Amino acid sequence: MATQDIEPGSEQMLEKDTRETLVTVVRHGLLLLWSFIVLFPLYWLASMSLKPPGQANSLPPDWIFLPTVFNYLELVQQSDFVGAFVNSLVMVGASVILVLLIGVPAAYVLSRYDVPMERDILVWILSSRMLPPIAVVLPFFIIFRELNLFDTRIGMVLMYISINLSLVVWVMKAFFDGIPETLEEAARVDGATQFQGFMKVVLPAAKPGIFSVAIISFIFAWIELLFGLVLTSFEAVPVTLFVYSFIGSRSIEWSMLAAASMSMIIPVAIFLIAVNKYLAAGLSFGVVIKE
């Protein structure tokens, strides 16, 4: 804006300049308004988790208070919470590793080979995302009881894989499409097998894609409630179910509930910020990176 020199006496220029200033002011006004809408609920939850239990619900609210980690300490002493948190970390983590092992090689094949009916296969893969989880979990609830997989971490890992496989295949196919084939051809000329070419040349080049899709898969599994609700009762309870049963308890300890929710949100928020550059590519199933 500063590049537009205003010549003395040029009213038109001056008018344009005021208009641009006005646009800028309105733009930032609206953006600040949305920033407030985004931040206030998060601030409120965080502040409630940092208030001593008796002070959490006082109205008018105590805007100024002495923050305390009391609620978090109480929470960590609850073996239910720690167990659920660890469960979620282990189950979601394992599911992400497995879904990458299953999905990334498949995406590579779909990207590099002439697979018959490729479009139909891709839509079929996407359709696994269209199936409502409740319709998927019903049969698995019955089968898991037969197979003794009910309320086990293994069973939950399998279900978490089902949420993310379509995402991994689609995004990674798009990433592989963007890596020139000449790279592998050069490696093959040097005597590498197709597999070695994939491991040593293609995978390193696709690292950002793998990284972002891993984190997005982690998030989608981490926030999932239904599978925990239906398929676990005690041993394999995920942290979402812990928070849910907390809401359901008769006498709600608001500040503890806030602390439990915050400890679920913080790791995900850090992940989101870490991959924010690749988020669009991952969330759009790989469509955006083609631009």
Partner 1 sequence: MSTPTQTETSNSQGLGRLSDLWNEYLPYWFIAPMVLVMVSITFFPGAYDLYLSLIEEPTTNIFAAEFAGLDNFRTAFTRGGAFHSFVITVTVVVSALALESLLGFFLAALVAGVDDSSSIKSFYRVLFILPMAVAPVSLATIGRLMLNTEVGIIPYVINSATPFASPAFLSDMPLLTVILLDTWNWTPFMFIIFYAGLSSVPDTLVEASRVDGAPLWRRYVHVIIPYMKPVVFVATLIRMIDLFRTFGVVYGLTQGGPGTATQLVSINIYEQMFINNQVGVAAAIAVVYLVFVIAIANIVIAKVGFEGVWD
What minimum distance in Å lies between the beta carbon of 288 and partner 1? Answer: 5
List, in order, residues 6 or more apart from 229 with CB less than 8 Å away.
241, 244
What minimum distance in Å lies between the beta carbon of 6 and partner 1? Answer: 18
| Nearer of residues 18 and 193 to partner 1, judged by Cβ | 193
What minimum distance in Å lies between the beta carbon of 34 and partner 1? Answer: 6
Q: What is the DSSP letter of 2?
A: T
| Nearer of residues 6 and 134 to partner 1, judged by Cβ | 134
| Nearer of residues 143 and 186 to partner 1, judged by Cβ | 143
Sequence-distant contacts of 46-55: CB under 8 A, at least 24 apart: 46/258, 46/262, 48/254, 48/255, 48/258, 49/255, 49/258, 49/259, 49/261, 49/262, 51/255, 52/255, 53/253, 53/254, 53/255, 53/256
What minimum distance in Å lies between the beta carbon of 69 and partner 1? Answer: 19
Q: How many CA atoms lie within 13 A of 247 on its CB side?
A: 6
3-class SS of residue 116: coil
What minimum distance in Å lies between the beta carbon of 195 and partner 1? Answer: 6
| Nearer of residues 8 and 29 to partner 1, judged by Cβ | 29
- How many Cβ atoms are within 10 Å of 14's Cβ, its own excluded? 13
| Nearer of residues 9 and 250 to partner 1, judged by Cβ | 250
Say if residues 154 and 177 touch (Cβ distance below 8 Å). no
